[in-house]
Amino acid sequence: MLRVEVAIVGAGIAGASGAARIAPHRSVCLLEREAQPGTHASGRSATMFATAYGNRLVRRLALASNAFLANSRHPGGSLLHPRGMLHVASPGQEALLANFAAETGLPPLAADDVLALVPILRPQAVIGGVLDHAAAAIDDHRFLQLCLRSLKESGGTLWCNAEVIGIEPVGDGYRLATAAGPVEAGLVVNAAGAWADELAKRAGVPPLGLKALRRTAVTVDPPPGWDLSGWPMAIDIAETWYFKPEGGRLLLSPADATEVPPHDVQAEEWDVAVAADRYARLTGHEPRRIHHRWAGLRSFVPDHSPVVGCLPGHDRFLWLAGQGGAGFMTAPALAEIACALITDRELPDELRAMLAELSPARTAAVAS
Ligand SMILES: Cc1cc2nc3c(=O)[nH]c(=O)nc-3n(C[C@H](O)[C@H](O)[C@H](O)COP(=O)(O)OP(=O)(O)OC[C@H]3O[C@@H](n4cnc5c(N)ncnc54)[C@H](O)[C@@H]3O)c2cc1C
């Protein structure tokens, strides 16, 4: 029987970054059902960082994560690579454009400026836009590996092929039955991604009404003769499509958000066709060849803000879930908060100010 102070369930970016942050202060075991960390949402993301994406709380969390991600002292340097995010408005989206510019404080651009930044867009498809020039691509693989290495260096353990099948309260904590053997822990961190409600139910903790939404991505060849290297990511201001340069190809998404039960989700033919069709309408180019297609689950509680903390009466079960479409860009701040809640460490003012909004207790829609 392995005994630790903290058992973290789920080795995606949430669990791995939390484990790395907590392990210098507490004994930690990170438990993952799959053979490899980062198999689900964290291995399928578009890997962008932006402080003008998501709701206000998500934006504040991304801002608070910027210093960690941009730190040039990480092995291999900063985890961020300049990319920019261009929010594109099409005919009929005049009001959305004005609201977005006012809300973010970023200046609206004229259609010609948008077309100069991403010249593959058809002039008829563009009425203006907003450039978030500080947005960046995250080196997601290096970020995850860096977290796992920090966990190991602090004496923490990673168990893969270790699905948590049962959780029962014992003494001051929990006994976890896992596929790799039993674990006793004073505290469980629920970083199970789309499966977080299922894990809670196994532990006798009320679920939060988490929804898993499928999102699809494909990579395609750009039309011959285009140099995409300097393009920002282009995203519809209402988030019905996006595309971005990715290793000499284009990554396209129809920005789908189809609710499904948590599972190892695959791309559906329909969503792949919608991605190709929206790109063709926007650019006038049919994608020539789809190289790779995938889908991942983004999971949200009803107010679309992440959840960090314990429910009243369940103070040995800490939620680190509901990161939606922003789990990489917010992971450093969320890990810092989880660590502070577990170790009673001081939090910087800007993070302390978010605790009530992140608490699972705010989730009125606690489902039974
Ligand atoms: C197409 C797409 C594009 C995205 N783009 C971006 C982006 O540009 N920027 C950004 O910041 N975010 C983006 N995201 C969101 C981001 O990927 C997620 O928010 C993040 O990966 C969530 O991490 P997680 O660790 O919570 O979940 P996951 O990575 O899903 O990890 C949860 C882990 O828990 C494990 N698990 C579940 N139940 C158990 C159990 N009982 N026992 C043991 N293990 C268990 C699972 O196997 C899984 O590995 C995108 C997501 C998608 C799908």
What is the Å distance from ligand 1's center to 286 Cα? 31
pLDDT of residue 76: 96
What is the Å distance from ligand 1's center to 108 Cα? 33
Residue nearest to atom 15 of ligand 1 (CA): 325
For residue 274, the tally of other CB atoms under 10 A from its CB is 19
Q: What is the pLDDT of residues 121-169, one digit of tens each?
A: 999 999 999 999 999 999 999 999 999 999 999 999 999 999 999 999 9
Q: What is the pLDDT of residues 246-262, one digit of tens each?
A: 999 999 999 999 999 99
Q: What is the pLDDT of residues 180-201, one digit of tens each?
A: 999 999 999 999 999 999 999 9
Q: What is the pLDDT of residues 26-80, one digit of tens each?
A: 999 999 999 999 999 999 999 999 999 999 999 999 999 999 999 999 999 999 9
The domain at 85-133+211-300 falls in which architecture?
A: 2-Layer Sandwich (3.30)
Least confidently predicted of 82-86, 119-123, 284-288: 284-288
In the chain, % of residues over pLDDT 70: 99
Confidence check: pLDDT of 337 > 80: yes
- Residue corresponding to tokens 């484990």: 19
Q: Which helix (H) or strand (E) holds 346?
A: none
- Residue corresponding to tokens 């033919």: 269
Same fold, 2-46+140-208+303-362 and 85-133+211-300: no
**Mean pLDDT to the nearest integer, 82-90:** 98
Q: Where are the domains of the chain?
A: 2-46+140-208+303-362, 85-133+211-300
d(CA 282, CA 157): 48
Task: Return the beta strands (E) in 172-226 as ranges.
Answer: 173-178, 181-190, 211-220
Confidence check: pLDDT of 101 > 80: yes
Going by pLDDT thresholds of 50, 70 and 90, the confidence category of residue 288 is confident
**Mean pLDDT to the nearest integer, 328-337:** 98
**Mean pLDDT to the nearest integer, 336-345:** 97
**Mean pLDDT to the nearest integer, 15-23:** 98
Ligand 1 mutation pick, 17, 33, 36, 58, max ligand atoms within 8 A of CB: 33
pLDDT of residue 364: 59
Q: Is the pTM of this model over 0.95?
A: yes
Residue nearest to atom 16 of ligand 1 (CA): 327
Q: Identify which of 61, 146, 43 has the alpha carbon closest to the alpha carbon of residue 326.
A: 61
When the pLDDT of each residue in the chain is averaged and rounded to a whole number, the result is 97
Which two three-digit tokens encode residue 170?
A: 């014992």
Confidence check: pLDDT of 365 > 70: no
Confidence check: pLDDT of 230 > 90: yes
What is the Å distance from ligand 1's center to 201 Cα? 19
pLDDT of residue 352: 98
Specify whether the CB–CB gap between 301 and 322 falls below 8 A: yes
The domain defined by 2-46+140-208+303-362 folds into: FAD/NAD(P)-binding domain (3.50.50)
What is the Å distance from ligand 1's center to 125 Cα? 33
pLDDT of residue 367: 52
In the DSSP assignment, the letter for residue 72 is T
pLDDT of residue 363: 83
Residue nearest to atom 35 of ligand 1 (CA): 10
